[in-house]
Chains A and B, each alone.
Chain A
């Protein structure tokens, strides 16, 4: 019994690649066993001696018993020696392989591609850090189907666990964030004994960029050709008129040329916005890394828009947060968001109106989404874009409030749609391209932030955008080392 247990242990530990065996390891395992045998035999003989001295057993029985025990111990000792031999050899080979194994381990850890090994029953046996980050795995060895609910991947994995051929499976999730992933599933046969020799290797490749690029190109062409046709058609009409009936009418020429100038200006803006939109959309799945102070952004926006708002006598009231409102983001993009929202508010406001720009900091998601009180009991509220729910996240908020004409409730869901303009905003030199809010939405979604609207016809609208607070800022009174640690952490996912 002893010998059996003893010879089993080293084999198992030697078989595991992870086991770090220095040269003393096999002997260390061997020693207590030999000592056990000696001890047991010694005790036996001692008991027999005591019994013999007490006169319970005759000296003949004592000698026979002692001899038998000694012989038994010797036989066990021999078995132990021979059983320890193969274990030693495995220990040595494992040591050689360990150098390789360690290198492989390090490579796997550094690999930016998620790699997992799935064991019997769909349990995750190993996952490299990239996989842990990608699937949001904790430290525990969970079941794959709880973290990756894709039915076709799960099917392929269980097929691989049965030893069937590997497969490449593509899957995509559309919400809350779009992603396209290709999953490579491959069976691995391990040499461990047991009824389940197969493991499944699962490698996940993020395909979102290329899929997006593909679709973006098609979308861009479709959008551009559709929206540019209208101004082009009118230009063509005017050129025809100018070269025909209006050839000798300087007054008409003057008027037509002015209209043509407005139309070309509109086309230029449209193309600018379309380019900007597709740039933003292309990078939407790559979260930004910089830091931005929202207070500075609203000040910059006021300065930049002063020449536009001044002539219309629209005042821009700023209510910055007292402390710095640092959020994770790309400064230019957040600036673009706020600028778009203010321009939008100005467009729907009468001359001489006032627009309020305020910043809040450290709000929870619920507080960030809407004002604590409705601007009107009948107002409609809608979240146009939202990050994944996370009760620990804190946000920096910018609200743009106007007291313009407001938006009817039924139009709210369509606000961030491309080329959507609320009726009556279709034409005129100041008319928008219908892309402003779409750009806002995509930028916000790239920042893992949110974008909401509240509006009541006749009362005005409030547009809110919120961006995640940087983790560094979240560490309250930071000791220098804590701050450093926080800065090395990956930013909000």
Chain B
């Protein structure tokens, strides 16, 4: 690859491969996003069938990750990209790993829906749903930032992760309160806690992706420390 003159069609094929890679990652992001949104809807509407469908669809995300990783390895081996091109490959590699985890977390939310359906509806569904919408919004905007290459938008999401923590914290306290008052709440309460924790983790993955997008566009890490909201575990 040290030949000074590269035939134009090779460059074109390469840039097309990179473009397709980014499009694949975006499509995988869409899939992960739809898993989270469907899992939340299943939880909100107590829809067991939709939850089962989400669990089944998680395999697609895993397949896509494997597929994209293979493509990246091939790209690295055959084209030996440098600079921006290398960053595109590395960023894609990191983002698909995060998205795969997001898919798993969505699946884990969906897995709790049938159990939650066995008990009566709780008044906390609205809080979980609100937190879910917030996290989903973060994921959506960070994937938009990836597709459009807007580092500032990614940083915006990254800075707002403490909102998710604030929601998580509030929900945590509310649920603990409700569970101490009423032992019947312990069952559904524990599951809701896990759902909230999963959502908080999805938010973290969204901020990870934001960091990668910033790196991809600017070539630098985000300088400052990530703002952290309150942690219920450590009062």
Binding site for B on A (CB under 8 A): 121-122, 136, 143-152, 154, 171-176, 365-366, 380-383, 386, 388-391, 409-414, 417
Contact = CB atoms under 8 A, between A and B. Distances in A.
B114 interface: no
B73 interface: no
A391 B127 contact: no
Interface in B130-150: 130-131, 133-134, 136-137, 140-141, 143, 145, 147-148, 150
A365 B41 CA distance: 30
Given A174-B136, A389-B141, A383 B163 contact: yes
Interface of B: 19-20, 22-24, 26-27, 29-31, 33-34, 37, 40-41, 60, 126-127, 130-131, 133-134, 136-137, 140-141, 143, 145, 147-148, 150, 152-153, 156-157, 159-160, 163, 166-167, 169-171, 173-174, 230
B40 A121 contact: no
A143 B137 contact: no
Q: At the interface, is chain B mostly helix, strand, loop or mixed?
A: helix
Contacts of B163: 382-383
30 contacts: A143-B23, A144-B23, A145-B27, A146-B22, A149-B27, A149-B29, A149-B143, A151-B27, A151-B34, A173-B37, A173-B140, A174-B37, A175-B137, A176-B137, A176-B141, A365-B156, A382-B166, A382-B167, A383-B163, A389-B141, A389-B145, A389-B157, A409-B166, A409-B230, A410-B169, A411-B170, A412-B166, A413-B166, A413-B167, A417-B130
A409 B170 contact: yes
A163 B101 CA distance: 35
B170 A391 contact: no
B23 A175 contact: no
A322 B11 CA distance: 56
B141 A145 contact: no
Nearest to B162: A381
Contacts of B130: 413, 417
Nearest to A392: B152
A144 B167 CA distance: 34
B20 A174 contact: no
Contact of A176 (B140, B166, B230): B140
Given A175-B136, A382-B163, A146 B26 contact: yes
Q: Which of A175, A388, A410, A417 has the most CB of B within 10 A?
A: A175
Contacts of A122: 23
B30 A143 contact: no
A365 B153 CA distance: 11
A121 to B, nearest CB: 7
Given A146-B147, A410-B169, A174 B26 contact: no
Contacts of A414: 126-127, 170
A154 B20 contact: no
Contacts of B167: 382, 413
Nearest to B22: A146
A410 B174 contact: yes
Contact of A383 (B37, B131, B160, B170): B160
B29 A412 contact: no
A390 B27 contact: no
A148 B30 CA distance: 8
A145 B166 contact: no
A417 B126 contact: yes
Contacts of B170: 409-414
Given A149-B29, A149-B143, A381-B166, 4 more contacts: A174-B133, A386-B160, A410-B170, A417-B130
Which 9 residue pairs across A and B have the least CB separation, nearest first?
Answer: A149-B30, A175-B137, A389-B156, A143-B23, A145-B27, A176-B137, A391-B152, A175-B136, A145-B23
A391 B150 contact: yes
A383 B138 CA distance: 13
Contacts of A175: 133-134, 136-137, 140
